[in-house]
């Protein structure tokens, strides 16, 4: 049998098959494996930003209600196993090795019969379905990898489809306009099944409405269905009242920072309430406990104080705008030391234009990805920005060195921020924890 290390080498070796949008290969792979995705109660979540946080909150609420819950997300921050969880626990190494053996045999059968090989994401998705089926989960909270219509997760019929805010990302695959991108995300909407949407840009909302109408999918809009009032906030979390058409929740608490997390929390609650259409009632106290216990590492996450060290996987323009607003809100008048690393296929000039004006010191580095901009290329892009004054930039492709420089530079009252790519902050999180 494969070892854990050999299993990961096999899975990651499939990157040579690239990114391919389409369902033909994943359907064939799952068919050979006995269609493990069938017969599972699923909440399917697509969107551009907030998918992971929303999935984490839905997962936590369902677990607080006493259910056995699977959670499938991507990418991972520190260890591959994070992508596949049951009841909040990562899939064990031995199970990854054992199930990868099954997937590998199925892939070999595909290749032998001339059907070609699946992509890495398709193989991981199949592995996840096998594990969730074995674990007999009551619910699976399933995050879309990219887009929706042709994403490998879109081989299921969910109880509820949830769509978080749609913005620009992966335009080379999903389209250059919000309308085109929204059409791809709306591929997870299924005939007769409930769709819950977070507040959206008008252009994206129009596509969601049209798709739901065409497929006879009951549409629940969070902006009409739920209203919240922020009571207090700080670096330890946020407290708010929430009123939906079904219930009133007073003094709910979340540990996740940023105004956008209130929208994500409302979306999670409304998605869970939508399960009532299938006779599944989630107790009010489970909502309260689940929200308070929900965690989503790497998103406006404070790792230490004096100085504050914050990591955020802001990897597109919408994410960077959220980070900027949060820094101005939570740390007004503090000196910001920004350590940034971005992938070359992102709109990095627009991202830099947003975040650089609030940085007092800048360190560029290179995320742990073949698609990353070098630290020098990123620094040159910053210097070309049309701002009167740009702080001095320290350049290092070595993430560990960038961390050391930033921490040595910081006074106790400063804020050190690591942002720009999940491939950067995952590495930073591991370094700082160890």
Nearest CA-CA partner of 302 in 165, 393, 425, 402: 425
**Residue 119: φ, ψ to 5°:** -80, 170
Say if residues 77 and 298 touch (Cβ distance below 8 Å).
Answer: yes
Helix (H) or strand (E) holding 380: helix 375-383
- The tokens describing 392, both together, are 């001095």
Say if residues 165 and 175 touch (Cβ distance below 8 Å).
Answer: no
Whether the pLDDT of residue 21 is over 80: the answer is: no
Domains (range + CATH), the chain? 4-293 (3.40.1190.10), 301-433 (3.90.190.20)
Mean pLDDT of 10-31: 86
Give this prediction's pTM. 0.95
- Banded model confidence at residue 434, pLDDT cuts 50, 70, 90: confident
Mean pLDDT of 147-158: 96
Question: pLDDT (tens digit, 9 = 90+) per residue, 318-331?
Answer: 899 999 999 999 99
- Banded model confidence at residue 245, pLDDT cuts 50, 70, 90: very high
pLDDT at 17: 60
- Banded model confidence at residue 201, pLDDT cuts 50, 70, 90: very high
Quote the longest CA-to-CA distance of the chain. 64
pLDDT at 16: 65
Question: How many residues in total does the chain contain?
Answer: 434
Q: To the nearest whole percent, how much of the chain has pLDDT over 70?
A: 99
Nearest CA-CA partner of 93 in 1, 8, 14, 15: 8
Distance CA 403, CA 433 (A): 12
Mean pLDDT of 167-182: 88
- Banded model confidence at residue 18, pLDDT cuts 50, 70, 90: low
| Strand extents, DSSP E, 3-153 | 42-46, 69-72, 84-86, 89-90, 139-143
Q: C-alpha angle with apex 74: 142 to 419, nearest 5 degrees?
A: 135
Whether the pLDDT of residue 20 is over 80: the answer is: no
Mean pLDDT of 176-202: 97
| Strand extents, DSSP E, 75-224 | 84-86, 89-90, 139-143, 160-163, 194-197, 219-221
Whether the pLDDT of residue 175 is over 90: the answer is: no
Mean pLDDT of 177-195: 97
Distance CA 297, CA 309 (A): 13
Whether the pLDDT of residue 171 is over 90: the answer is: no
Q: To the nearest whole percent, how much of the chain has pLDDT over 90?
A: 92
Say if residues 160 and 271 touch (Cβ distance below 8 Å).
Answer: yes
Neighbours of 134 (CB within 10 A): 13
Mean pLDDT of 380-406: 95
Say if residues 243 and 226 touch (Cβ distance below 8 Å).
Answer: yes
- Banded model confidence at residue 391, pLDDT cuts 50, 70, 90: very high
- The three-state secondary structure class of 13 is helix
DSSP 369: S
Question: pLDDT (tens digit, 9 = 90+) per residue, 266-307?
Answer: 999 999 999 999 999 999 999 999 999 999 999 999 999 999
Q: C-alpha angle with apex 408: 404 to 410, nearest 5 degrees?
A: 120
Question: pLDDT (tens digit, 9 = 90+) per residue, 230-243?
Answer: 999 999 999 999 99
């Amino acid at each position: 049998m494969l070892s854990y290390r050999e299993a990961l080498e096999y899975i990651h070796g499939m990157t040579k098959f690239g990114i391919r949008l389409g369902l033909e290969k994943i359907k064939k792979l799952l068919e050979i494996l006995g269609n493990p995705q069938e017969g599972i109660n699923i909440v399917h979540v697509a969107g551009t930003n907030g998918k992971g946080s929303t999935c984490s909150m839905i997962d936590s609420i369902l677990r607080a209600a006493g259910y056995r819950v699977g959670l499938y997300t991507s990418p991972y921050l520190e260890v591959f196993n994070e992508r596949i969880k049951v009841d909040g626990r990562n899939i064990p190494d031995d199970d990854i090795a054992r199930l990868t053996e099954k997937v590998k045999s199925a892939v070999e059968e595909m290749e032998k019969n001339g059907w070609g090989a699946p992509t890495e994401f398709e193989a991981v998705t199949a592995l996840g379905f096998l594990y969730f089926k074995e674990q007999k989960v009551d619910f699976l909270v399933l995050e879309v990898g990219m887009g929706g219509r042709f994403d490998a997760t879109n081989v299921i019929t969910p109880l509820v489809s949830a769509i978080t805010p749609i913005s620009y990302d992966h335009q080379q695959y999903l389209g250059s306009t919000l309308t085109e991108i929204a059409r791809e995300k709306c591929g997870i909407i299924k005939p007769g099944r409930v769709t819950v949407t977070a507040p959206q840009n008008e252009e994206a909302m129009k596509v969601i409405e049209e798709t739901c109408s065409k497929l006879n999918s009951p549409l629940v809009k969070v902006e009409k269905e739920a209203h919240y009032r922020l009571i207090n906030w700080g670096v330890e979390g946020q407290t708010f009242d929430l009123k939906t058409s079904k219930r009133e929740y007073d003094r709910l608490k979340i540990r996740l920072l940023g105004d956008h997390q209130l929208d994500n929390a409302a979306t999670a609650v409304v998605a869970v309430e939508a399960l009532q259409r299938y006779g599944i009632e989630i107790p009010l106290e489970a909502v309260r406990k689940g929200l308070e216990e929900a965690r989503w590492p790497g998103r406006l996450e404070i790792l230490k104080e004096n100085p504050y060290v914050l990591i955020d996987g802001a990897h597109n323009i919408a994410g960077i705008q959220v980070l900027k607003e949060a820094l101005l809100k939570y740390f007004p008048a503090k000196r910001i030391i920004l350590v940034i690393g971005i992938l070359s296929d992102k709109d990095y000039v627009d991202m830099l234009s947003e975040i650089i004006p609030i940085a007092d010191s800048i360190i560029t580095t290179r995320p742990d990805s073949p698609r990353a901009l070098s630290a020098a290329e990123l620094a040159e892009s910053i210097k070309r920005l049309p701002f009167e004054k740009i702080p001095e930039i320290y350049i290092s492709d070595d993430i560990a060195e960038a961390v050391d420089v930033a921490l040595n530079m910081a006074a106790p009252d400063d804020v050190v921020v690591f942002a720009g790519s999940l491939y950067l902050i995952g590495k930073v999180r591991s370094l700082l924890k160890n």
